[in-house]
Amino acid sequence: MKVNFLDLKGQYHQIKNEVLTAVEDVFENTAFTNGPHVKKFEENFAAYCQTKYCSSVNNGTSALHLAMVALNIGPGDEVIMPANTFIATAWGPAYVGATPVFVDCDPNTWEIDVEAAEKAITLKTKAIIGVHLYGKMCDVEALKAICDKHNIYFVEDAAQAQGSKYKGVRSGGFGELACFSFYPGKNLGTYGEGGGITTNNKEYYDRIQKLKNHASEEKYFHQEIGYNMRMGGVEGAVLDIKLRKLDEWNGRRREIAARYQSEIVSTKIRMQEVGADYESNYHLFVVTVENREHFMEYLKENEIFAGMHYPVSCHLQKAFTYLGYSEGDFPQSEYLAAHCVSLPMYAELTDEEVSYVIEIVNNY
Ligand SMILES: Cc1ncc(COP(=O)(O)O)c(C=O)c1O
């Protein structure tokens, strides 16, 4: 039996008719960018996230970039974030000329180490970006409390966490701003590229809506330097259809995760700790194993295809050599980078496929 790490075809076939009808509607209305389909999705996604506003953008990286612009973060400012994340978390601060300041992760949850984050605060710190890694939210309550105490902003990188919950509340409303990615492989992924920023603050929302549209409220009048980061009509229409299924698909991912957690009994495998307060959307199911290359080769021989999220910790990326970090600075993040393996995880995996992955992993 062959089990892919991710396969988007099955899901497309479930919703094909709705998607093609919606795409035709976008075309018939020549609503190719922004437009009614995008607006409808923005309203529905804000409601889903239990926030007042959602501004759609063209991808999650732009969401992080615009979040920094909207908070007036720039040269001379520092922004704290985990070293163990996808690099785009750090692009936002880097694009505006601020300094990304990395901190290590917790050895059990693999999320940003809250104590280390507080210790990294200086007079230059403007914000902490908490990443909801693999779909499990970071400790938003503790991070928000630290940010309030030091009068700095809390931003959620919720790129992987559509529908994830902390104490029953969905991601998106804990930070001043929360940044989502709707890249095709995400739990809520569009057919193209997409992103969004949720907030309860009308001023930020209004500014982001303008910024992404050439900083223009009235055509050909521009109050400040703007961007073209609008979402396409097709992307908005697809997202609105998929949003209606998100809870069902996340529920299936949780079922699969629960089986991995209870049925993978091999002592060679370690898993991310997800506390009782957290409901992960299981965007990824990451484990660690001592000899990763050997384990992945073994999986491949058995036609199970796994991933690595992420094989190089951000502080050791070439792009950030100018920041002066070196090996050994963040041992937990470096350990994860060297030992992480992402098992197959998507809602359309069959029970048989899940059983097969469990059996092969246990036999390792
Ligand atoms: C944690 C995290 N932040 C940011 C991004 C960037 O999103 P995008 O690929 O839509 O630009 C991603 C997605 O890959 C991500 O996983």
In-domain check, residue 4? no
CA of 85 to the centre of ligand 1 (A): 9
> 215 pLDDT band (50/70/90 cuts)?
very high
In-domain check, residue 1? no
pLDDT for 129 equals 99
Neighbours of 64 (CB within 10 A): 30
123 and 52 assigned to the same domain = yes
In-domain check, residue 325? yes
CATH number of the domain within which 327 lies: 3.90.1150.10
Q: What is the pLDDT of residues 137-151, one digit of tens each?
A: 999 999 999 999 999
> 298 pLDDT band (50/70/90 cuts)?
very high
210 and 256 assigned to the same domain = no
As a whole number, mean pLDDT of residues 324-338 equals: 98
238 and 198 assigned to the same domain = yes
> 293 pLDDT band (50/70/90 cuts)?
very high
DSSP letter for each residue of 345-356:
--TT--HHHHHH
pLDDT for 53 equals 98
CATH number of the domain within which 71 lies: 3.40.640.10
264 and 339 assigned to the same domain = yes
**What separation, in Å, do the N-terminal and C-terminal C-alpha atoms of the chain show?**
17
As a whole number, mean pLDDT of residues 4-18 equals: 97
Quote the CA–CA distance of 106 and 170 in Å, as a whole number. 22
The closest alpha carbon to 158, from 249, 51, 231, 251, belongs to 51
Using the 3D structure, point to which of 243, 274, 308 is the last residue of a domain: 243
Q: What is the pLDDT of residues 164-205, one digit of tens each?
A: 999 999 999 999 999 999 999 999 999 999 999 999 999 999
63 and 205 assigned to the same domain = yes
The number of folded domains in the chain is: 2
DSSP letter for each residue of 272-324:
----TTEE---S-EEEE-SSHHHHHHHHHHTTB--B-S-SS-GGGSGGGGGG-
Q: Is 129 in the pocket of ligand 1 (CB under 6 A)?
A: no
Q: State which of 65, 133, 160 you would mutate to test the pocket of ligand 1, scoring each by most atoms of that ligand within 8 A of its C-beta.
A: 160
CA of 362 to the centre of ligand 1 (A): 32
In-domain check, residue 213? yes
Q: Is 171 in the pocket of ligand 1 (CB under 6 A)?
A: no
In-domain check, residue 2? no
pLDDT for 34 equals 92
174 and 323 assigned to the same domain = no
pLDDT for 244 equals 98
Helix residue ranges per DSSP H, the chain: 9-28, 35-48, 60-70, 88-95, 114-119, 140-150, 202-211, 233-243, 246-263, 292-301, 331-339, 351-362
pLDDT for 237 equals 98
> 106 pLDDT band (50/70/90 cuts)?
very high
- What is the domain extent for residue 89? 9-102+110-243
Note the Cα 4 to chain centre separation in Å. 21
**The pTM is what?**
0.98
Percent share of the chain, pLDDT over 90: 99
In-domain check, residue 3? no
181 and 86 assigned to the same domain = yes
38 and 186 assigned to the same domain = yes
Q: Is 183 in the pocket of ligand 1 (CB under 6 A)?
A: yes
Neighbours of 47 (CB within 10 A): 12
88 and 204 assigned to the same domain = yes
22 and 65 assigned to the same domain = yes
The closest alpha carbon to 346, from 11, 75, 44, belongs to 11
As a whole number, mean pLDDT of residues 199-226 equals: 96
- Report residue 139: phi and psi, to 5°: -75, 80
pLDDT for 324 equals 98
56 and 201 assigned to the same domain = yes
Quote the CA–CA distance of 224 and 215 in Å, as a whole number. 6
Q: What is the pLDDT of residues 235-274, one digit of tens each?
A: 999 999 999 999 999 999 999 999 999 999 999 999 999 9
> 158 pLDDT band (50/70/90 cuts)?
very high
What burial letters (b/e) apply to 220-257, b meaning 16+ CB within 10 Å?
eeeeeeebebbbbbbbbbbbbbbbeebeebbeebbebb
- Report residue 338: phi and psi, to 5°: -85, -15
In-domain check, residue 332? yes
Length of the chain measured in residues: 364
Using the 3D structure, point to which of 197, 221, 243 is the last residue of a domain: 243
Quote the CA–CA distance of 344 and 260 in Å, as a whole number. 10
pLDDT for 335 equals 98
In-domain check, residue 340? yes
As a whole number, mean pLDDT of residues 104-131 equals: 98
Residue type, 199: T
Using the 3D structure, point to which of 243, 262, 288 is the last residue of a domain: 243
The secondary structure element, H or E, covering residue 102 is strand 99-103
Distance of CA 362 to CAs 258, 266, 359, Å? 16, 5, 5
Looking from the CA of residue 131, the nearest atom of ligand 1 is 1
157 and 19 assigned to the same domain = yes
What is the sign of the dihedral through the CA atoms of 68, 73, 76 and 80? negative
